[in-house]
Structure 1
């Protein structure tokens, strides 16, 4: 068989395409690959007019099976597709080095996955419609960590720890301590009660021996025993 007989056919229009061949949609847009009665079916390379490129499997004219989508600015998705949408296991990467590895559904992060951002940290856990949602843990490069329950990208309740040994366990709202919580230090001193907007609101402060050394009522601090006042817990919250 001669080399010329192996050359792919150039179809004038999609509806005429069947077998191996190419359809050009514009100067910068074309599909090269397998066709079945006018529909993309099998392996092929689809280059869009904006220079986005898809390399992979098709079925009934849609991306279906394994495939790679490469964007002009360097972002890339590599994984499973279902009826034209990202669905199943896949990896999405950014030029910055950030990467998501996990499950997809309806074109968005859904299920379990790990998002890693360079010089920041990573989130490992559950996702819903592209947001952290469900059980998960977020770890920053500086050593700060929060593990708990997330809702639409923000912690709802969980346990946070800092490199200096301080810990907070309780409720959150908009990334701030809000609701019932316990803020503690390695020395044993701790503050228990209601927090609002990242501050004690109705709380009791104890020393390492369990003695009450301070109170906050409606956001105003009162002192039970002035001789046992302890320094405020030093907590550095990551930006």
Structure 2
């Protein structure tokens, strides 16, 4: 019979949650809000409710161990786009509304930063698509760079025109 081992008891890490602020001068970023650190450490991570600002984004919402997690509002300062809704481990996940600077918007389900599930997309002209979206695209829509969608019929027409111009030697 093998000898009995003494049970090795793992030492539990103790965290301290506090409010605070930091400035990251190299990236011109700053944060104000909830922080978490190990009792014996000076390293802190964003945790709880807080606001993060950099030259490209502004996030006001929930954090979990240095990731956007929970509910929040993310503004893309360089494009003017805005997302309000749920996050999971730093990505759009759950329900939320994304509004492009152009005026187009999507309200509904998200998975891994993509429109996925039931939702409503409204284009810049006010035309509305309701239905089930899959992996970033929905009924009758084709995704383009920057998240802008076009009707599949319009895309087909543009492709046909481009092929005709290429065939004619114009392109």
Q: Provide TM-score, normalisation by structure 1.
A: 0.47
Look up the match of 2:36: 36
* Structure 2: segments with no counterpart, 5+ residues: 1-15, 38-43, 142-149, 161-171
Structure 1 portions without partners, runs of 5+: 1-16, 139-152, 156-171, 177-196, 198-239
For residue 97 of structure 1, report the CA deviation from its aligned partner: 2.0
Secondary structure in 2 aligned to 1:97? coil
Residue 118 of structure 1: how far off its partner (Å): 2.7
Q: Distance in 2 between matches of 1:92 and 1:123?
A: 15
Which residue does 1:45 correspond to in 2?
51
Report if the CA contact (8 A) 2:119-2:130 is conserved: yes
Aligned-partner Cα distance in 2 for 1:123–1:113: 8
Say if 1:110 and 1:127, in contact at 8 Å, map to a contact too. yes
Q: Deviation above 6 Å: which 4+ runs of structure 1? A: none
- CA shift, 1:106, in A, is 0.7
Aligned to 1:123: 129
Please list the CA deviations of residues 147-191 of structure 1 after superposition, one character each: whole Å capped at 9, or x if unmatched. xxxxxx876xxxxxxxxxxxxxxxx9x748xxxxxxxxxxxxxxx
User: Partner of 1:20 in structure 2?
Assistant: 19
Which is greater in Rg?
1
Shift in Å, 1:125:
1.2
Instruction: Tell me the matched-pair count.
Output: 126
Using the TM superposition, give the Cα deviation of residue 45 of structure 1 relative to its aligned residue in structure 2, in angstroms: 0.3
Measured in 2, the distance between the counterparts of 1:92 and 1:124 equals 15
Q: Could you tell me the TM-score, scaled by structure 2's length?
A: 0.65
Q: Which has the higher helix share?
A: 2
User: CA offset at residue 131 of structure 1?
Assistant: 1.4
CA RMSD, Structure 1 to Structure 2 (Å) = 2.5
Q: What pairs with 1:196-207 in structure 2 (closer than 5 Å)?
A: none
Contact 2:50 2:62 in 1 (8 A): yes
SS at match of 1:35: strand
Say if 1:26 and 1:49, in contact at 8 Å, map to a contact too. Answer: no
1:90 aligns to 2:96 (yes or no)? yes
**Greater relative contact order structure (CA < 8 Å, 6+ sep):** 2
Bigger fraction of residues in strand: 1
